[in-house]
Structure 1
Amino acid sequence: MTSSITPRIVPAAPAGDQDFDSASYLRRIVREMRVCALATTDSQTGYPYLTSVNAAANRRGQVLFLTSLVAPHSRNMRKDPRLSIMCYVDESGESWAHGRPLTAGRVTLSGMAHVTDTPEDIEDFLSAHKKLSVAVKNGGFSIWKLSPQGVEMMGGPRLAPELRVEDLKISNLS
């Protein structure tokens, strides 16, 4: 009997497992994430710029995230709205997998971002981040919404299914 070197938080589905619903798992990660890594293109140097941001999904399953108006990543997105985000959720619902992110389900979404100020998006973001309501309501921060163009999910070497952006769509939320 063999054991894995790295304990898995998310059990690996056997290769070819027809019962594993990767699209539902993708939507679950997006729905439950609270922090994500955000990669933008630095507006001054052209190099990648990576940071962490508070994030949540709105009721349609779209990714929302918060940035300071003066942060480099906000400046970068105003000049070039293309970005990638990577979100983690482990089986306990904790972002960043208790220090073991490579054993948790994670998804990378790439696309275009824009600032949103719709009451619904603000309410959805703040329902996940109640302690940030003062910062959001007093200004100095923006909530951004991602319009994904690409998606890749990973949850260990056996959970690397082919997914489409359509798998995130409203009608597919479960």
Structure 2
Amino acid sequence: MSDPAESAVKKKDPLLPVDDDARRLAKDLLRRARHGALATLDPADGMPLATRTALATDMDGAPVFLTSTLSTHTQALLADARCSLLVGEPGKGDPLAHPRLTISGRARRIAGPDAGGDPARERLKRRYLARHPKAELYVDFADFGFWRLEIQRASLNGGFGRAYGMAPADVLSDMGGLEALMDFEGGAVAHMNEDHADAVALYARAFCQAEAGPWRLAGLDPEGLDLVFGDRVERLWFDTPLTSPQEMRPRLVQLAKDARAALGIA
């Protein structure tokens, strides 16, 4: 007669070992997401509360969202910062066959000017508005504020039979030694969009197989670039991550050269 305890040990673990492909998929889902399902705990009765929220990411990939104090989920986060976020577009066919990522952690409120101001706010505001320009109408209203989700764990489902349990380091970009990029980014993005819009469009066509259009650079980070065109978001991943902030400018120049070569443009 089999030992139940031994059978339990032998039971197959449904989670696969996390590898580089899984990490890239998880990061890609997070970087591309324009919205997600945010789950909080209703302060009235503690019941789960799921709402849709528009998203952007900080430079390291942590989700950023903007909420009004009038919304129920803001009141929920003020009472209990624990939350989770689901991202991933279902696409055609069976929605369960498409990849999705759930991240869990605590939402950190970013102080606005009326509360002394958080140095990160302007960076998050810039990155958020690059994805959601219509939010310019209300982003500075007194009752609106930014939140950054500090990830504690993540769960990736890459489709049937492809489940992974992940740590924060699996879904975030390592910013160690690259903090200067945060100061560099705003000017670099504006410069590329104002003076090198043709290069940004080439990036989208050559490396993201995107159609021609007025693509804009929404953000940059040690592992790649975020490109936007209306509601479209594309992610350009570098072959290798940056090891110093000084590598960004030559990397952008080389990408433009490589894009022209790939498209057969002199």
Q: TM-score, normalised by structure 1?
A: 0.78
Q: 1:120 Cα deviation (Å)?
A: 0.5
Question: How many residues matched?
Answer: 153
Any idea what SS the aligned residue of 1:27 has?
Answer: helix
2:111 aligned with 1:128? no
Aligned residues of 1:97 and 1:103 also touching (Cα < 8 A) = no
Q: 1:78 Cα deviation (Å)?
A: 0.2
Aligned residues of 2:101 and 2:156 also touching (Cα < 8 A) = yes
Q: 71-80 vs 128-137, which deviates more?
A: 128-137
2:98 aligned with 1:104? yes
Among residues 134, 141, 144, which one is paired with 2:144 in the alignment? 141
Residue number in structure 1 paired with 2:226 = none
Q: 1:132 Cα deviation (Å)?
A: 1.1
Name the aligned partner's letter for residue 152 of structure 1: S
Q: Hey, what's the Cα distance between the residues in 2 that align with 1:114 and 1:162? A: 23
Residue number in structure 1 paired with 2:34 = 34
Among residues 152, 155, 160, which one is paired with 1:157 in the alignment? 160
Residue number in structure 1 paired with 2:108 = 114
Aligned residues of 2:66 and 2:145 also touching (Cα < 8 A) = yes
Q: Hey, what's the Cα distance between the residues in 2 that align with 1:120 and 1:87? A: 22
Q: Hey, what's the Cα distance between the residues in 2 that align with 1:77 and 1:19? A: 33
Q: Hey, what's the Cα distance between the residues in 2 that align with 1:80 and 1:19? A: 33
The runs of at least 4 consecutive aligned structure 1 residues that moved more than 4 Å come to none
Q: 1:98 Cα deviation (Å)?
A: 6.0
Aligned residues of 2:97 and 2:160 also touching (Cα < 8 A) = no
Residue number in structure 1 paired with 2:206 = none
Aligned residues of 2:102 and 2:156 also touching (Cα < 8 A) = yes
> Gaps (5+ residues) in structure 2?
1-15, 113-120, 176-221, 224-266
Q: Which has the higher helix share?
A: 2
Q: Which has the higher contact order (CA 8 A, sep 6+)?
A: 1
Higher Cα radius of gyration: 2
Q: Hey, what's the Cα distance between the residues in 1 that align with 2:19 and 2:69? A: 44
Q: Deviations over 1:98-119 (max 9, x none)?
A: 6864232211011000122511
Q: Deviations over 1:42-98 (max 9, x none)?
A: 101111111110011122211001222111100010010000110114xxxxxx536
Name the aligned partner's letter for residue 104 of structure 2: S
Structural RMSD (CA): 2.4
Q: Which has the higher strand share?
A: 1
Aligned residues of 1:43 and 1:75 also touching (Cα < 8 A) = yes
Q: TM-score, normalised by structure 2?
A: 0.53
Any idea what SS the aligned residue of 1:83 has?
Answer: strand
Any idea what SS the aligned residue of 2:159 has?
Answer: coil
Aligned residues of 2:96 and 2:160 also touching (Cα < 8 A) = no
Q: 1:139 Cα deviation (Å)?
A: 3.5
Q: 1:137 Cα deviation (Å)?
A: 2.3
Identity of aligned residues (%): 28
